[in-house]
A and B are shown apart, each in its own frame.
Chain A
């Protein structure tokens, strides 16, 4: 099977499946892991999975809005990571650990 053929057989489905797999991994990380840093990374993974699907749809439908949206998502992700890491730092300062369960203390 020639190489070019192989590349041309890669369609939108493949990108979307990849996006879904990455999203599920990220989701599993958010749901299962207790470490705040890992949690933030998992969220980052989910956001990027979404970005892939945005770009895919943009590319295949010939519209540019999807790619613009990706820049917004990346900006938001950066801001979110900053806030999330700040929280992680303050949690670590207080409890000497970055376990997610300490957030339960924030419950009213």
Chain B
């Protein structure tokens, strides 16, 4: 089939699904709604696979399929096409989006079947997939921005899906407004890049990027990329704009899996990888990205240690893992960032869906203190979650190990890297191992603390099948990018991932002194350190939360105020309220009272007074006294005549 037609079907299929469900959104027929939506995404997935196979057939340098559907905007030199491009990077993204998306749609049929808004839910979900595909495939920054805003809208709609609960509606608004701050920076970034390069086409931007790195902080490329990165911190939940993501857990759990773990929140990383030719010549921006990523990875992980809501733990874990990806792209390891993006999509979607299965089984209970011992009630959920757990804590040979190790190695060895960045990454890994083991232990292992009135039950096949598929992917997903040091030992398995991305990714030189042998030794030992520490950390957590009753409370007490601070999420929300939101509200109130009421309103009142006063003066001339009128006429004639005569 024609490749352009494939792209069109890929994009339109979820949109049609959205319309089919959207026009009958009051229906409660969950089978019909779910089938339409799932099939729509499945068609997209098939198109993605076909496009991927088409790409594979092409020679590596020419792997780029473009489709220009129409000219969207044409103002003088500013021309934007409704153009879409499938290349090495976006093909992976569309496979993840439609593949994981289809699984999550399937899961949703089981999860949402009792909900009255089920048809509306599936309509939103399809709309999200459509927008996400626009974001990923759009070949210019502006087309990407359309999808960028579109997924933001769907995120808002789905976080506030149960909008009768005002807290959930507020969480939706928080996400939307926080994203808006980032979006403003994104737009400014686009302005700067267009002013500098005269195009917004990402392929051209990468080509036009200067060849020499820009050392100034105020250079056009540095400023432009910095602004785009600020946009990315909004969408991908990094410091300082991460605060919306934990609240976004108010949405239905499959939404958290799809939007707030696997796809939308990775848009920022995708955008940076897309423009890697530009970012790589802005080392200052790269440094900021790496530091922000590392700081987010550690900070979010520490908050994850103290949360008791199963979804909140996973949310902070997501923030932390996204931090890893930013660390990767910040040190120039764009391939590693994308790699972690993919493996994370597998195991985090798995864990969110697993938590959804748990919540479903526990009748909407999300507090892990009221769980425990669920292994025997939910064997499939437990088994799949277990594999996801091994993947996220980076145990070889599960998916997370390869991607995380790649990032840590690059953080250490890249010319943009630093030993402190590596150390932060390892610390993050250790913390991740701890809180994830804690989550496993409190939820599935140990003694049951389940309320007597609740009878947990395993979920139906609609929900377990996606779990099983994702669990398999979480195990094998990392095998496409086995690092050289390991493949040397186990029979030269090529690193498909690097080969695949090589033509579209610019690389930074590695700076490790010494011969090849030393480098290999170093990589092995660093790998050993991170895996070893993570394993010890996981073991400690396991003992603390299953074997020794009350040990965790003692530790919490020992840390006292520190624990409280972390548990309260470093009071960041409160600080934002006190530092930004309340001053804004107060300032607005003052503006309202002093400027609006006292200046603007008064000014308009003065104008009306003037008109009214003038009117009453003119009114007084109309006395009804004919002789007065006659006099006015006489005076008028005299004035007019004298004017004519004097001239």
A residues touching B (Cβ–Cβ < 8 Å)? Answer: 27, 30-32, 100-101, 103-107
Contact = CB atoms under 8 A, between A and B. Distances in A.
B627 interface: yes
Instruction: Tell me what chain B mostly uses at the interface: helix, strand, loop, or mixed.
Output: helix
B622 interface: yes
A105 B626 CA distance: 11
Contacts of A107: 622-624
Contacts of B630: 27, 30-31
A100 B622 contact: no
A2 to B, nearest CB: 37
A105 B634 CA distance: 23
Nearest to B634: A27
A104 B624 contact: yes
Contacts of A30: 627, 630
B631 interface: yes
A67 B622 CA distance: 37
Interface in B563-579: none
B625 interface: yes
16 contacts: A27-B630, A30-B627, A31-B630, A31-B631, A31-B634, A32-B627, A100-B625, A100-B626, A100-B627, A103-B624, A103-B626, A104-B624, A104-B625, A106-B624, A107-B622, A107-B623
Contacts of B622: 107
Contacts of A103: 624, 626
A104 B634 contact: no
B634 A101 contact: no
Contacts of A104: 623-625
Contacts of B631: 31
Contacts of B624: 103-107
Contacts of B626: 100, 103
B157 to A, nearest CB: 60
Contacts, number: 23
Contacts of B634: 27, 31
Nearest to A107: B624
A31 B624 CA distance: 14
Given A31-B627, A32-B627, A100-B625, 14 more contacts: A27-B630, A27-B634, A30-B627, A30-B630, A31-B631, A31-B634, A100-B626, A100-B627, A103-B626, A104-B624, A104-B625, A105-B624, A107-B622, A107-B623
Residue from B622, B627, B631, B634 whose CB has the most chain A CB atoms within 10 Å: B627
Contacts of B623: 104, 107
B518 to A, nearest CB: 106
A101 B630 CA distance: 14
Interface in B604-647: 622-627, 630-631, 634
A27 B627 CA distance: 10
B590 to A, nearest CB: 48
A27 B630 CA distance: 9
A101 B626 CA distance: 8
Residue from B622, B623, B634 whose CB has the most chain A CB atoms within 10 Å: B634
> What 3 A-B pairs are tightest by C-beta distance, nearest first?
A107-B624, A104-B624, A30-B630
B86 to A, nearest CB: 78
A29 to B, nearest CB: 10
A30 B630 CA distance: 7
A13 B582 CA distance: 87
A106 B622 CA distance: 12
A105 B624 CA distance: 8
A30 B626 CA distance: 9
A55 B470 CA distance: 112
A104 B625 CA distance: 6
Contacts of A27: 630, 634
B78 to A, nearest CB: 60
A38 to B, nearest CB: 12
A27 B623 CA distance: 20
B500 to A, nearest CB: 88
B438 to A, nearest CB: 88
Nearest to A27: B634
A68 B238 CA distance: 96
Interface string B147-170: 000000000000000000000000
A104 B622 CA distance: 10
Nearest to B637: A27
A98 B473 CA distance: 110
Nearest to B630: A30
Contacts of B627: 30-32, 100
Interface string B376-401: 00000000000000000000000000
Contacts of A105: 624
Contacts of A32: 627
B634 to A, nearest CB: 6
A27 B637 CA distance: 12
Nearest to A101: B625
A100 B626 CA distance: 8
A61 B626 CA distance: 37
B172 to A, nearest CB: 60
Nearest to B622: A107
A27 B222 CA distance: 86
A99 to B, nearest CB: 11
